Every structure is written in C-alpha cells, then in structure tokens.
Amino acid sequence: MLFDTHCHLDFTEFEDISLTIQQAMDVDVHRFLLPATTQVSWSGIESLIESFPTQLFGALGYHPYFLSSEIVVKDAMYQLDRALQTRSKQILAVGECGLDGMVDVDFALQTAMFSEQVRLAQHYRLPLIIHSRKTHHHILRLLKRARFTEGGVLHGFTGSKQQAYQLVDMGLKIGVGGSITYPRAQKTRQAIAALPLESLVLETDAPDMPVQGFQGQPNHPNRLPIIFQSLLELRAEEPDKVRDQLWQNSLNVLHLSSM
C-alpha cells in the first residue's frame, strides 16, 4: 500500500471526497495526511478525518504563504495551542508550517510563526510538516536552535543532495513529490537517488505539484503511483522493498506504531 503524506483534500477542487478516496484506493493509495494551511481550514480537516477515520489523518498549523500582516503571533499560537490540546487522535502533526523565500510575506513574521509552531510541536511531541522554498538553511538554523527532536517531513523537497542530508541529520524525512517525474529536475532526482531509503516518504501535494504529463490539471492522490514509479527508476532496491520501506517510513514519522 502507498501513503500520501501530503494532500489537501479539503480544497475546493475535491468536490466528492468519497470518490476521490476511492479512486486513490483503486490504485493502492490507502492512507492520506491532510495538512492545514490556515486556521479557518482546521475545522474542515477535522470534519473530513472524522468522516473517514480509517483513511484520513490531519495536521494543524499556519502555512507561511497565507500569513497576513494583521496576524498577531501570540493570539494565533493561543488558538493553535487550544486546538492541539483538544485534538482528536487522527491529528498527527503540526503543519503545514515553515518559511517561504518567494512570497511577499514579511519574513520576520514567517520566522516568528514558524518558531512558535516548532515550540508547540516539541511541547506536544508531534512531528512537523514543513514547507520550505529557498529557506532550507533558515529552517535548519531554527530547528537546531529549538533543539527539536520530534522529526517530521520536509514537504515537496526540490533541493540539493547536501541540503537533503542536512535535513535528514535533523531527524526529518524528505517528501518525494511530482518534481522527480520531470527529467529536467536533475538536482532533486540525484538527491533522492542518493539518500537512504529510510529517509523518504511519498506525497502528491494534491491539487498542487502536478506530475509530468498532467501539467495544467489539478493534481490527485491517484497519481501517487506515478511518483512511486519514478522513484523506482532512481533506486537500486527491489520494488517491494521500496514500497514496504516507504510505508513504514510514513508510519514512523507520524508516530503511528502500527496500522
């Protein structure tokens, strides 16, 4: 079985969630993690995972892309703290949180929000689902400063082999998504080929991050096998070994002992 460790099934592109899940399960994608993007999205995610408790899991947090200048860090963290205190057992992580060097959002605000989410994740002993664009060195610095030990996933990785090893050394898994389906993404493909298999998990980021051949279309969890096949082309291990290890990695990083 395959685990989509990052997809946004709460987005409006997915009108029929039952159909979306069934279409994915038809191609052996059986588990899904839904990271939040804004506080407004928390209740929708919690409602979805309550409706599909054997397939869906969630994460609560603030995505850096959606931060506004009106946000008050202290108030936002109070709300997240309350939500994490009363979370269901299906809420497995803090996120999607992180830093983005390519959006017009005050970087000091991004840094303060991410640092506080790292603090809460450490307090509740939850992994992080981390968004990072052009900010890997900042992410590493903040995690080290916080002495963060609960692990997590660096989502949508598109960096170099050196950056990937630094993130893995911090206890993070590397989210392998649609970028590896593009032959031109040589730097990322080389990094994914070189990393220990134990450090990788699969994700679609649906409806974003389209795989090759589906550009311009909303991405879908049922395209996770395409990413898996691209990964097999980069790895020397047997397909069954890769599949089994990816599944176990997903359980391990989300602190799921068995399923």
- Distance (Å, whole) CA 198 – CA 189: 16
Query: What's the mean pLDDT in 51-59?
Result: 97
Which residues lie below 8 Å from residue 212, measured CB to CB, with a gap of 6+? Answer: 178, 181, 182, 226
Is 205 marked as binding a ligand? yes
Is 8 marked as binding a ligand? yes
Q: Of all residues in the chain, what percent carry a pLDDT higher than 90?
A: 98
- Distance (Å, whole) CA 157 – CA 35: 16
SS percent in the chain: helix, strand, coil, step 5: 45, 15, 35
What are the start-end ranges of the E strands in 78-148?
91-100, 128-133
Is 131 marked as binding a ligand? yes
159: confidence class by pLDDT, cuts 50, 70, 90? confident
77: confidence class by pLDDT, cuts 50, 70, 90? very high
Q: Of all residues in the chain, what percent carry a pLDDT higher than 70?
A: 99
Domains recognised in the chain with CATH numbers: 2-253 (3.20.20.140)
Is 6 marked as binding a ligand? yes
Closest CA to 205 of 6, 4, 5: 6
pLDDT tens, residue by residue, 188-198 = 999 999 999 99
Is 96 marked as binding a ligand? yes
